Chains A and B, each alone.
Chain A
Amino acid sequence: MKSRKRTNWVAMILIALGTVFILFPLYMAVTIALKNQNDMLNSIFGLPTNLRFENFAKAIEMTNFFQALGNSAIVTISTVVLTILSNSLVAYAVARNMGKSKFFKGLYFYFISAMFIPFPIIMLPIVKLTASFGMTNLFGLIILHTVYGLAFNVFIYVGYIRSIPIDLEEAATVDGTGTFGTFARIIFPLMAPINATVGILICLSTYNDFLLPLVIISDQSQYTLPLVQYVFQGQFNTEFNLAFASYLLAMLPMVVIYLFAQKWIINGVTQGAVK
């Protein structure tokens, strides 16, 4: 498709200059995390003369990094898996019946209208509710993320499922396969592209979420990575090098995933928004 045109150098130079704007704060974060306070006094901007990896060791110890990483990983992975399995199933039932059943049509609008409800209206009562159910922990976070995801996910799943021809399922039904079986064996495998989109969006939003853990989680051993940064912000005090080492550690897992799966992530996020 693309014709071999000459490189547009003006655009190229402007785009390259723009990346400085994006990368500068990250450059600062990395270099500060690798300096100590004396290095900082000599030069804030320069590259570190000695790489102070001990900042990372100290930050790991101070914030109990691996515990928080484990918590974030449990919440993120469980939410992604549970969301893909459950929300797609709900959307399947809705998509295949909303044309002929008022109940399912109503259900569709019930879920998607929740997209307009801002979280703060739920935030105050949900704290009482999760406390009374004993859900002020990682399990509660996983359930809430999965349930709240329905609003948006049903919307994009239904759009996708309606584009899958119904003939396939009718053939399976004639063969005597049950509805759940038809979904598991025929529909779910066909949903791989949209599952990837949903999975990526949920992974990003759950891993980086701050507000829900902030209001739900009370026990420090259950803190997720963003919450740990918040709680330790005061304790880092003027030890900016430690603070930055801690920030980088918290961002690292997602950045590593991004380096390897950049194309999928960009496509997934684009598909999710355009749908």
Chain B
Amino acid sequence: MAKRKAAFYWMTIPALLLFFVFHTFPALQGVFYSFTNWNGFAKTYEFVGFKNYYYLFQDDNVGNAYWFTFKFAIVVTIVINVLSLLIAMGLNASIKARNFFRGVYFLPNILSVLIVGYIFNYLFSNVFTVWGENLGWDWLSTNLLGSQTMAWIGVVFVAVWQGIALNTILYLSGLQTIPTQLYEASGLDGANKWQEFWKITFPLIAPFFTINMVLAMKNALMVFDLIVALTNGGPGRATQSISHLIYTGGFEGGEFAYQSANSVIYFIVIAVISIVQIRYLQRRETDM
């Protein structure tokens, strides 16, 4: 029995050590450096206490990155979930070639975010502009991604194009768990489609709604590859996300310690949002 117990420790301790060294330790280092003034390459640094945090809250670039990221994440999460649910209901209806359509809608999920971003980057500058001119839509006849006020909508568009793939498939698998007899019964009771959706469909897929909201939100809050490929944070800093700011400031701007402080705040924000979201949505699940 003791041998058996020893074996279980042997199974986990190497992984525990590796995980500590490559995950927990650098995370702690990040917290440590956030209290210094290290630029990332100098030989020495000093402790500056909470100065980095103090400056963070007055930094327009930081405020701007949080504003963009939240605006982006909220809009993307809502649009993705609405569209995905509609598409999933369409796929769940009695249609022909369902597997083919399902395969097409899921395809974007397997593609590299960066490359998808590059493809759309070209479409925004050379293809959508042609439509804009032909249709006489001023906002589309110049590159949307080059506009200070509209560029974020372009980024949302691409994130939605790719993001609906996963959420659609998850909603579809949720819809398929609903027994058809329930709809037959409600049909006999004279419920219309609208009532049917809110009284039967939506409550029964509530767990899938939770997963999809959390996943979509988390992915959107982490957005990095897409920003690099579409706008590189521009024009100006109009579409700079938090992780993009940490990357560029930390590696290229000599702000190692300062961006470490930023990433600590970012971690707290993500953790709080995830926990609140999961708590709130799970309570709703049980209420329904």
Could you tell me which A residues sit within 8 Å of B by CB distance? Answer: 1-3, 5-8, 11-12, 14-16, 18-19, 21-23, 25-26, 28-29, 32, 44-45, 86-87, 89-90, 92-94, 96-97, 104, 107, 110-111, 114, 116-127, 129, 143-144, 147-148, 150-151, 173, 178-180, 183, 204, 207-208, 210-211, 215, 225-226, 229-230, 233, 240, 243-244, 247, 250-251, 254-255, 258, 262-263, 265-266, 269-270, 273-274
Contact = CB atoms under 8 A, between A and B. Distances in A.
Contact of A148 (B22, B31, B87): B22
Interface string B15-48: 1101101111111011101000000100000000
B263 interface: yes
Given A12-B96, A147-B22, A118 B267 contact: yes
A90 B118 contact: no
Contacts of B224: 210-211
A96 B8 contact: yes
B106 interface: yes
B161 interface: yes
B263 A244 contact: no
Nearest to A180: B7
Contacts of B206: none
A208 B259 CA distance: 26
Contacts of B161: 21-22, 25
B114 A266 contact: no
Given A22-B104, A226-B114, A229-B118, A8 B95 contact: yes
10 contacts: A12-B93, A28-B123, A44-B127, A44-B130, A121-B30, A122-B27, A122-B30, A126-B26, A147-B18, A147-B22
B173 to A, nearest CB: 5
Contacts of B96: 7, 12
B26 A28 contact: no
B53 interface: no
A16 B102 CA distance: 11
B80 interface: no
Q: State the majority secondary structure of interface residues on A.
A: helix
Contacts of A3: 180
Contacts of A204: 109-110
Interface string B112-124: 1111101110110
A162 to B, nearest CB: 15
Contact of B4 (A179, A265, A273): A179
Given A6-B94, A19-B101, A120-B266, A125 B26 contact: yes
Contacts of A16: 101
A40 to B, nearest CB: 9
Given A18-B87, A97-B8, A230-B228, A208 B29 contact: no
B117 to A, nearest CB: 10
B149 to A, nearest CB: 24
B30 A124 contact: yes
A62 to B, nearest CB: 15
A152 B139 CA distance: 42
A27 to B, nearest CB: 11
